[in-house]
């Protein structure tokens, strides 16, 4: 007997329509190029404008800046991007729309929204987030890039590391030290990359996320107007930490969708590939392994959705978000291993999705706050430690 409306899934017909449209675009326009873009180490700039035309970069933003939809549309975006079969495209789009830009919407001035946010959501300007440095990754409070106030300007000196979209960003949402040592001296500002003294140190050669341009950026006496400061001076740390929540949640949701896709692929391959007279999938070892993973993925999905629900309603969600990213990230390492294993030799050649997913998957426990950082955060939010 069925009574009442389920609280989950939270998707309405509008979410379903957006999912169908986005999936069609991603599968037809992006996925066919996935291996080529990885080989080229970059994807075309038109992907930003193509995604923007779908409204996919503006999800969760107010209409006044070119956005629409609610947080569950963001969830749909993070889930469907996985179907591009290209982790670099996936990450670039999420940095563009959900990591480098939400803070401008939250605390930026009208001028900053007009100059940076709206063009980013329209796919006209490429956005990057500049927090990590050669000597400060997860330890944000220790960052060393300085912004010194000189008259009506800030003069910026330092370096930023691991910057996604770094080689072609039109602006960077930049974390800088404007005050004392530690978390109380950090500010955020919008930094246009056509400023004199800015340079791209190098495009980093990575094992995965190959189509994403990850760069080391240098700032040498870069002058930007003081009004490009985001929010209050020296109050940046709090905003960075808040901003991380949305980033980690997208990572967790995307990881779940990615794992589901890996297992779906593995089941399909197991049906097609025959060994010793029967399809691989009929071997008990594979049946059991894959349903174990499906079970764990289902658990990861609902943990992530629980965190999404809290986050979307503005409730405290740091613990659940950290748990969701930790759980999905660690689980992915096991899922990708088995899904690659069932593919045998085919799983070792880069034309197979699973081979590329194998190297891409390592990032999830490292980037956006390492698993160890997630554990530290959780331990601080649970009484008794």
Partner 1 sequence: MKILVTIKRVEDYESKIKVKPDGTWIVTDGVNYRANPFDEIAVEEALRLRDANMPSEVIAVSVGSELSVNEIRSALAMGADKGILVKQAGWVDSDAVARCLQKVIEREKPDLVLMGKQAVDVDDNVTGQLLAEYLGWGQATFASKHESLESAEEKAKKPGVKLAADKASVEVIREIDGGLETLSVKLPAIVTVDLRLNVPRYASLPNIMKAKKKPVEELDPKALGVDVTPKVKVLKVEPPPARAAGIKVPDVAALVQKLHSDAKVI
Q: Which residues share a beta bridge with 274? A: 279
- Asked if residue 21 binds partner 1 (CB under 8 A), the reply is yes
- Residues 184-213 touching partner 1, rule: CB under 8 A, are none
Q: Which stretch binds partner 1 (CB under 8 A): 2-10, 12-20, 90-98, 240-248?
A: 12-20
At its nearest, how many Å lie between partner 1 and the CB of residue 91? 21
Q: Which stretch binds partner 1 (CB under 8 A): 55-63, 156-164, 293-301, 356-364?
A: 55-63
Strand 171-177 relative to strand 127-130, pairing = parallel
Size of the site for partner 1 (CB under 8 A): 20
Encoded one letter per residue, x for contact with partner 1 by CB under 8 A and - for no contact, window 331-370 reads ----------------------------------------
Cα(65)–Cα(278) distance, rounded to whole angstroms? 56
- Taking only Cα atoms into account, the Rg of the chain, rounded to an integer number of angstroms, comes to 21
Cα(379)–Cα(374) distance, rounded to whole angstroms? 9
- When binding is defined by CB under 8 A, the residue of 38, 58, 84, 177 that contacts partner 1 is 58
At its nearest, how many Å lie between partner 1 and the CB of residue 123? 12
Produce one character per residue of 1-10: b if its CB has 16 or more CB atoms within 10 Å, e if not. eeeeeeeeee
Q: Which stretch binds partner 1 (CB under 8 A): 15-23, 180-188, 215-223, 244-252?
A: 15-23
- Asked if residue 24 binds partner 1 (CB under 8 A), the reply is yes
**Residue 159 per-residue DSSP state:** E
Q: Which is nearer to partner 1, 63 or 194 (CB)?
A: 63
Encoded one letter per residue, x for contact with partner 1 by CB under 8 A and - for no contact, window 148-167 reads --------------------
φ, ψ for residue 34, nearest 5 deg: -55, -50
3-state SS assignment for residue 5: coil
Q: Which residues share a beta bridge with 59? A: 68
Nearest Cα residue to 237 out of 150, 175, 301: 175
Q: Which is nearer to partner 1, 113 or 289 (CB)?
A: 113
- Residues 66-125 touching partner 1, rule: CB under 8 A, are 68-69, 73
Q: Which stretch binds partner 1 (CB under 8 A): 37-45, 65-73, 180-188, 349-357?
A: 65-73
At its nearest, how many Å lie between partner 1 and the CB of residue 33? 16
Produce one character per residue of 354-368: b if its CB has 16 or more CB atoms within 10 Å, e if not. bbbbbbbbbbbbebb
- When binding is defined by CB under 8 A, the residue of 25, 162, 191, 269 that contacts partner 1 is 25
Among the listed residues 79, 80, 133, 247, the single catalytic one is 247
Tokens 């602006």 belong to residue: 171
φ, ψ for residue 159, nearest 5 deg: -145, 150
φ, ψ for residue 269, nearest 5 deg: -65, -40
The first and second tokens of residue 254, run together, are 């995307």
Task: Confirm whether 247 is a catalytic residue.
Answer: yes
The first and second tokens of residue 113, run together, are 């929204």
- When binding is defined by CB under 8 A, the residue of 18, 43, 71, 237 that contacts partner 1 is 18
Q: Which is nearer to partner 1, 56 or 189 (CB)?
A: 56
Q: DSSP readout, 217-274?
A: EEEEEEEEEGGGEESSTT-HHHHHHHHHHHHHHHHHHHHHHHHHHHHHHHHHHHHH-E
Nearest Cα residue to 189 out of 201, 166, 163, 171: 171
- Asked if residue 56 binds partner 1 (CB under 8 A), the reply is yes
Q: Which stretch binds partner 1 (CB under 8 A): 22-30, 144-152, 179-187, 250-258?
A: 22-30
- When binding is defined by CB under 8 A, the residue of 34, 37, 47, 55 that contacts partner 1 is 55
- Asked if residue 59 binds partner 1 (CB under 8 A), the reply is yes
The first and second tokens of residue 38, run together, are 């990885």
φ, ψ for residue 76, nearest 5 deg: -60, -45
Q: Which residues bind partner 1 (CB under 8 A)?
A: 13-14, 16-18, 20-22, 24-25, 53-56, 58-59, 63, 68-69, 73
Known catalytic residues? 247
């Amino acid at each position: 007997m069925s009574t009442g409306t389920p609280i989950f899934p939270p998707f309405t017909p509008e979410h379903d329509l957006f999912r169908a449209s986005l999936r069609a675009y991603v599968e037809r326009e992006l996925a066919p190029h996935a291996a080529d873009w990885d080989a080229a180490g970059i994807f075309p700039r038109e992907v930003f404008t193509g995604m923007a035309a779908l409204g996919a970069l503006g999800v969760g933003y107010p209409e006044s800046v070119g956005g629409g939809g609610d947080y569950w549309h963001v969830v749909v975006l993070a889930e469907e991007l996985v179907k591009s079969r290209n982790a670099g495209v996936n990450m670039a789009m999420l940095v563009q729309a959900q990591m480098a830009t939400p803070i401008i919407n939250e605390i930026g001035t009208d001028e900053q929204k007009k100059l940076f946010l709206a063009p980013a959501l329209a796919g006209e300007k490429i956005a990057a987030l500049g927090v990590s440095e050669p000597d400060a990754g997860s330890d944000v409070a220790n960052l060393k890039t300085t912004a010194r106030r000189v008259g009506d300007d800030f003069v910026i000196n330092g370096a930023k590391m691991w910057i996604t979209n770094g080689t072609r960003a039109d602006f960077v949402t930049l974390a800088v030290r404007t005050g004392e040592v530690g978390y109380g001296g950090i500010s955020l500002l919008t930094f246009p990359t056509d400023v004199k003294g800015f340079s791209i140190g190098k495009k980093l050669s990575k094992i995965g996320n190959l189509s994403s341009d990850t760069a080391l950026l240098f700032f040498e006496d870069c002058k930007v107007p003081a009004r490009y400061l985001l929010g209050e001076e020296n109050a940046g740390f709090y905003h960075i930490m808040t901003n991380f929540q949305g980033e980690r949640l997208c990572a967790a949701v995307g990881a779940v969708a990615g794992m589901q896709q890996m297992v779906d692929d593995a089941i399909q391959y197991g049906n097609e590939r025959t060994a010793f007279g029967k399809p691989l999938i009929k071997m008990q070892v594979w049946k059991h392994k894959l349903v174990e993973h499906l079970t764990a993925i289902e658990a990861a999905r609902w943990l992530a959705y629980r965190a999404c629900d809290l986050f979307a309603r503005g409730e405290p969600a740091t613990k659940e978000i950290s748990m969701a990213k930790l759980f999905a990230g660690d689980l992915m390492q096991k899922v990708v291993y088995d899904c690659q294993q069932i593919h045998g030799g085919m799983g070792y050649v880069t034309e197979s999705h699973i081979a590329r997913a194998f190297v891409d998957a390592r990032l999830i426990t490292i980037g956006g706050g390492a698993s160890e950082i997630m554990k530290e955060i959780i331990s601080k939010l649970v009484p008794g430690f």
